[in-house]
Amino acid sequence: MPIFDDLKANFPVEYIAGGATQNSIRVASWMLQQPKSCSYMGCVGKDESAATMTKECEKEGVVVHYMVDEATPTGTCAVCVKDGERSLITNLGAANNYKIAHAEAAENWALVEKAKFYYISGFFFTVSPDTIMKVAEHAKEAGKCFMMNLSAPFIMQVPPFKAALTATMPFIDILFGNESEAQTFAETEGWDKALTVAEIACKISAMENGPKKVVITQGADPTIVAEGGKVLLEHPVRPLTKEELVDTNGAGDAFVGGFLSQLVQGKEIKDCCEAGNYSANVIIKRSGCSYPEKPSYP
């Protein structure tokens, strides 16, 4: 905990609204340029951090309905960036305390019912899997699109989290992840260690109770999209020089945000991947998950 005070006292600190899912929703809203078309729920404390985050999100056109835990501070993440690489230290705080009762409250559930697309990061399996399942079931019953992200290897490695992921898989229309998360998923399933990332994506998409589509990013290598056990698309990534790389923090979240911005408009998967690559490319050239006022896209 002392590292947070040390950073503030001894380094020039930037404050940027964060959180994996919230980053994706912010980027989707930025790409869409349609205020109040995207909304987000999560848990914050009753403090200055929450006030700053609310102000930033609302300024960006995102509708936020936070659950407020007055006894716990808003979650924070200290990010140290050196030569384009990052190290993160997270104090989850209130983000760890979300309760399904908040989602079920009339004004909040109205937002859920109004939405046509849903995206939740895998990190939320550690917090409120019952909320995930409730939203997933609603999406399935209403014929809407429900999406999730593998988010981190530990989600697959910790048995209760893997069990929650497995239970949700039949409801997932699109599952996102990166190459290390895909490889960890394969390991925890006991699959052949020699499988390529593309082969793993295909196997996940072919699972009897698995997601309909699987989208796996691979850093500078092509993004893999698999469906029904076959590779649907291998989409190249926009080139980036080493000098342009400022901070990889939020790049994966930004890819999803860009992808979602086109998906909700009914665009083709290749267009979704291209917008995802564009968004990630913009974020990588800046500090944190931040972006200029308007996108230069398409």
Catalytic residues: 253
Any residues with CB less than 8 A from the CB of 241 and at least 6 apart, and which?
Answer: none
Contact 152, 181 (CB under 8 A): yes
3-state secondary structure (DSSP) of residue 150: coil
Q: How far apart are CA 13 and CA 74, in angstroms?
A: 17
Measure Cα distances from 9 to 15, 90, 178 in Å. 14, 18, 35
Torsion 267-270-276-279 (CA) sign: negative
214 pairs with which residues across the strands? 175, 226
Task: Answer whether 211's CB lies under 8 Å from 204's CB.
Answer: yes
- Distance of alpha carbon 96 from alpha carbon 240, whole angstroms: 35
Q: Chain-centre distance of CA 207, in angstroms? A: 23
Contacting residues for 181 by C-beta, under 8 A, at least 6 apart: 150, 151, 152, 153, 155, 156, 216
Structure tokens at 100: 């399904």
